[in-house]
Amino acid sequence: MVVFPNCKINLGLHITGKRPDGYHELETVFYPVQLRDALEIVHATTEEPEDIRFTTSGLSIPGNSASNLCVKAYQLLKKDFPELPPIQMHLHKVIPMGAGLGGGSSDGAFALKLLNEKFQLQLNQDQLIHYAAQLGSDCPFFILNRPCYGTGRGEILEPIELNLSGHRFVLIHPGIHVSTKWAFEQLTPAKAPRPITEILQQSLSEWKRELVNDFEAPILRAYPEIASIKRALYDDGAVYASMSGSGSTVFGIYAPGQAIGIQEKISHPCQVAEG
């Protein structure tokens, strides 16, 4: 069986507090975008000492396979479902890593859903969300995989009505690694002046005035190249442009049918995806 884990963008992102456990409280809206990896799971065909054989293709994935969220998803379920058979799992990686797009979180969440379906574990959505939260803060969103208002660490999710179908999304990853720890250290948590969900009720053309990612100001100062990408998207006619998560991917939202010429204006590869 094969599934196609998609990425997400953050529409607005505010860091509102610091928790006793060291995590930060945040407010954001997660929106799914159809730039996708591919994940396949089949029964193991040979006798091997491991329960799971994990292989990859596409973009190079740093670290060893044991740390991959797809492998951790299998191991997490195996604890509660020891009858899970040995498998072969292959991940073809298209979504850039460490880019603020949640690609690894999506892979892990889709692995849970695929294992649940393939081996008929009968887990409901709430149970899958519970397992996903153990993999990472962004993983529960990809169980729902629809526009959601996120609070807490990002794991408290409230589905919202927000339809950007027909719009096109340009995603530009400049290949710059932004330390998440450093990015958080640049911020002073504070309550947002206006709820993100209220801002999103306005027309998309109004978002530029008020829809803010708190990480943008310090990161764009430290990395002028990221700032220049955002300017180039607006110069190209994007209705709204922002950085996703703590970067370094910058996305632009274009109106339906609008021409996209950004590829000719920057040196970084652009990926165009649907909402």
pTM of the predicted model over 0.85: yes
Catalytic residue positions, numbered: 8, 138
Handedness of CA 177, 246, 173, 263 (dihedral sign): negative
The span from the first CA to the last CA of the chain, in angstroms, equals 24
**Structure-block tokens of residue 146:** 């629809």
Starting at the edge strand that comes first in sequence, how are the strands of the sheet with 24-36 ordered? 6-18, 24-36, 148-151, 156-159
**Structure-block tokens of residue 205:** 């053309």
Q: Is the bond leading into 248 cis (omega within 30 degrees of zero)?
A: yes
**Residue-range domain boundaries for the chain:** 2-159, 168-274
CATH of 168-274, one of 3.40.390.10, 3.30.70.890, 3.40.50.2300, 2.60.40.10: 3.30.70.890
pLDDT of residue 265: 80
pLDDT of residue 49: 58
3-state secondary structure of 116: helix
**Structure-block tokens of residue 230:** 């955002």
The answer as to CATH 1.10.3720.10 being correct for domain 2-159 is no
Which residue has tokens 């159809």? 34
pLDDT of residue 48: 62
**Structure-block tokens of residue 120:** 């008929």
Give tens-digit pLDDT for 177-190: 888 889 999 999 99
Which amino acid is present at 195? P
10 touches 102 (CB < 8 A)? no
Give tens-digit pLDDT for 71-130: 999 999 999 999 999 999 999 999 998 899 999 999 999 999 999 999 999 999 999 999
pLDDT per residue of the chain (275 residues) written in tens, 0 to 9: 999 999 999 999 999 998 888 788 999 999 999 999 999 999 998 766 578 999 999 999 988 888 999 999 999 999 999 999 999 999 999 999 889 999 999 999 999 999 999 999 999 999 999 999 999 989 999 999 999 999 998 889 999 999 999 999 999 999 888 888 899 999 999 988 899 999 999 999 999 999 999 999 999 999 999 999 999 999 999 999 999 999 899 999 999 999 999 988 888 878 888 77
